A and B are shown apart, each in its own frame.
Chain A
Amino acid sequence: MGIKVIANLPCVWGVCLLLLLPEVVLAAESGSGTWSAWVWMVLLFATTFVIGVFGVMAGIGGGVLFVPLVSGFFPFHIDFVRGAGLFIALGSSLAAAPYLLRQNLASLRLAMPVALIASAFSIVGAQLGLWISALNPAYIQGALGVVILGIAMIMLRTPIRVFPVVSGNDPVAKWLGLQGWFVEETTGERMNWTVHRAAVGLSGFVLVGLLAGIFGLGAGWANVPLLNLVMGAPLKIAVATSSFSLSITDTTAAWVYFNRGAVLPALVVPSLVGVMLGAMLGSRMLPHVPAFMIRRLVIGVLMLAGIRSVLKAVDW
Chain B
Amino acid sequence: MTEAQPDPLELRVDPEQLGYAQVVVWGNGLGLAVMLVGFIGYLGGWLPAGIPLETLLEVWSLPLPEFLVQTQSSTGWGWLQYLENGDTLALLGIALLGGVTLAGYLLLFVRFLGERKWGQWGMVVVEIVLVVLVAANWLGAGH
- Which B residues are in CB contact (< 8 Å) with A123? 130, 134, 139-140
Given A104-B17, A189-B4, A252–B137 Cβ distance below 8 Å?
no
CA distance A39 to B53 in the complex (A): 11
Closest to A104 in B: B13
Contact B126 A116 (CB under 8 A): yes
Contact A101 B36 (CB under 8 A): no
CA distance A43 to B40 in the complex (A): 17
User: Residues 5-18 of chain B: 1 if any A CB is under 8 Å from the residue's CB, otherwise 0?
Assistant: 11000110110111
For chain A, the count of residues having a C-beta within 8 Å of the partner chain is 73
Given A87-B98, A101-B18, A266-B56, A192–B3 Cβ distance below 8 Å?
yes
Given A76-B61, A259-B137, A37–B97 Cβ distance below 8 Å?
no
Contact A260 B142 (CB under 8 A): yes
- Which B residues are in CB contact (< 8 Å) with A191? 1-2
Least Cβ distance of A242 to chain B in Å? 16
- Which A residues are in CB contact (< 8 Å) with B18? 101-102
A127 at the interface (CB under 8 A from B): yes
A-to-B contact residues, CB < 8 Å: 32-34, 36-38, 40, 75-77, 79-80, 87, 90-91, 94-95, 97-98, 101-102, 104, 107-109, 112-113, 115-116, 119-120, 123, 126-127, 130-131, 133-134, 137, 163, 175-177, 181, 183-184, 188-193, 247-248, 251-252, 254-256, 258-269, 272-273
- List 30 interface pairs A-B (beta carbons < 8 Å), by A numbering: A32-B54, A34-B54, A37-B56, A40-B57, A79-B63, A98-B21, A104-B13, A108-B16, A108-B108, A116-B126, A120-B130, A123-B130, A133-B64, A176-B119, A189-B2, A189-B3, A190-B3, A192-B1, A254-B98, A255-B140, A259-B135, A259-B137, A261-B68, A261-B74, A262-B64, A263-B94, A265-B38, A266-B60, A268-B35, A273-B36
